[in-house]
C-alpha cells in the first residue's frame, strides 16, 4: 500500500511540475511594468479598434520579447480603463489562459498606411469559449457579461478617440450541428447590435476564418464557409484567410506566429478595403 501511495505521489508531483513549467513558459515574457504616456493622445487623432470574439481573439499564443516593445503611437487600456502604451497580452479577463493575441500586430501593420499624426488604440473584449448567442443575449461567461462589457469598453473608447473598426474571431463554440444552421443569422444580429451600440451603421467589421487544423474539420469548414460568404451581404465587412496558419499544439489555437500573421492580415484588408472611406468620414 505504501509503495502504491508513493507511486501516486511521484506521478502527482510530475504532473504538478509540468503544469508549473507550462505556466512559467506561458507567462515568462509578460511585461513586468506598465508604461503610461505623460500626455494622453489627442482624441481627434486617435483611431480605436475593438477586438471581440472567443479564445483565438482573446489570445492563446506565447508572448515573446518582440511583442512587448512599445510604439509611441499604439495604445491599449488597463483594467481601470486608463490609457497606456500597448504591450502584449492585451486581454484583461482571463488570467489563467491569456496569451498573445493579434492586436499589437494589427496596429503595427496598420500604422504605415495611416497619416503620421494618427494614433491607434486597441481595446480588448474577447472571452475564450464564448458562443455567439451568449454575446447576443448578454450572457455572463467566465465572469464577464459579454455585451455589457462590450458597451462599457465602447464608452471608454469614445473618451479617447473614434472607433474605426471591429476585429472579430469566433465560431469554434458554434461549430456543431445544432448551431451551424443559425450562425449566419446570429452574425447578422450581433453585428447589428455592435453597430447600434457604437452608433455607426457603416462601421467596418473584419472576420477571421477558424483554423484549418481542427479535429472537427467538416464543422469548422461549415463555419468558415459562412464567414467567407458573409461580406457578400454586408458590404462594410471583410474576412481574412487562416488556412495556412499553424496551431500551438492543441489543434485549436493559433500559435504565436499565426497570431502575428492574423494581425498583419486584418491590417492589410482594413487598409485595402476601408481606409479611404473611414479617413474621410467623421
Strand-strand pairing, 162-169 and 74-77? unpaired
Domain at 33-279, CATH from 1.10.1660.10, 3.90.420.10, 3.40.50.1110, 3.40.50.300:
3.40.50.1110
Q: What is the DSSP letter of 29?
A: T
CA 62 to chain centre: 14
Beta bridge partners of 226: none
Residue 202 and residue 87: Cα distance in Å, rounded? Answer: 29
pTM of this structure: 0.91
- Contact (Cβ atoms closer than 8 angstroms) between residue 204 and residue 166: yes
Helix ranges, 49-182 (H): 55-58, 103-110, 132-136, 146-160
- Per-residue pLDDT tens listing for the chain (282 residues): 545 444 444 444 444 444 456 677 789 999 999 999 999 999 999 999 999 999 999 999 999 999 999 999 999 999 999 999 999 999 999 999 999 999 999 999 999 999 999 999 999 999 999 999 999 999 999 999 999 999 999 999 999 999 999 999 999 999 999 999 999 999 999 999 999 999 999 999 999 999 999 999 999 999 999 999 999 999 999 999 999 999 999 999 999 999 999 999 999 999 999 998 776 555
Q: Which of 123, 126, 149 is nearest to 138 (CA)?
A: 149
Amino acid at each position: 500500500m505504501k509503495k502504491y501511495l508513493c507511486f501516486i505521489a511521484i506521478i502527482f508531483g510530475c504532473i504538478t511540475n509540468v503544469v508549473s513549467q507550462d505556466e512559467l513558459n506561458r507567462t515568462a515574457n509578460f511585461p513586468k511594468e506598465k508604461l503610461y504616456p505623460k500626455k494622453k493622445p489627442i482624441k481627434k487623432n486617435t483611431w480605436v479598434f475593438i477586438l471581440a470574439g472567443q479564445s483565438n481573439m482573446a489570445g492563446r499564443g506565447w508572448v515573446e520579447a518582440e511583442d512587448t516593445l512599445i510604439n509611441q503611437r499604439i495604445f491599449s487600456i488597463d483594467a481601470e480603463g486608463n490609457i497606456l502604451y500597448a504591450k502584449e497580452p492585451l486581454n484583461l479577463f482571463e488570467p489563467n489562459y491569456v496569451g498573445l493575441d493579434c492586436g499589437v500586430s494589427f496596429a503595427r501593420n496598420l500604422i504605415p498606411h495611416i497619416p503620421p499624426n494618427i494614433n491607434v488604440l486597441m481595446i480588448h473584449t474577447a472571452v475564450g469559449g464564448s458562443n455567439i448567442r451568449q454575446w447576443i443575449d448578454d450572457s455572463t461567461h467566465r465572469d464577464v457579461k459579454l455585451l455589457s462589457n462590450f458597451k462599457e469598453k465602447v464608452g471608454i473608447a469614445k473618451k479617447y478617440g473614434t472607433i474605426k473598426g471591429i476585429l472579430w474571431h469566433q465560431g469554434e463554440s458554434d461549430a456543431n450541428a445544432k448551431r451551424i444552421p443559425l450562425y449566419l443569422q446570429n452574425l447578422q444580429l450581433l453585428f447589428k447590435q455592435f453597430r447600434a451600440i457604437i452608433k455607426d451603421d457603416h462601421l467596418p467589421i473584419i472576420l477571421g476564418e477558424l483554423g484549418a487544423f481542427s479535429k472537427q474539420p467538416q464543422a469548422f469548414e461549415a463555419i468558415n464557409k459562412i464567414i467567407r460568404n458573409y461580406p457578400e451581404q454586408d458590404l462594410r465587412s471583410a474576412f481574412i484567410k487562416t488556412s495556412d496558419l499553424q496551431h500551438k499544439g492543441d489543434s485549436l489555437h493559433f500559435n504565436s506566429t499565426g497570431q502575428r500573421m492574423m494581425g498583419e492580415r486584418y491590417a492589410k484588408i482594413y487598409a485595402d478595403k476601408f481606409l479611404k472611406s473611414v479617413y474621410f468620414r467623421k
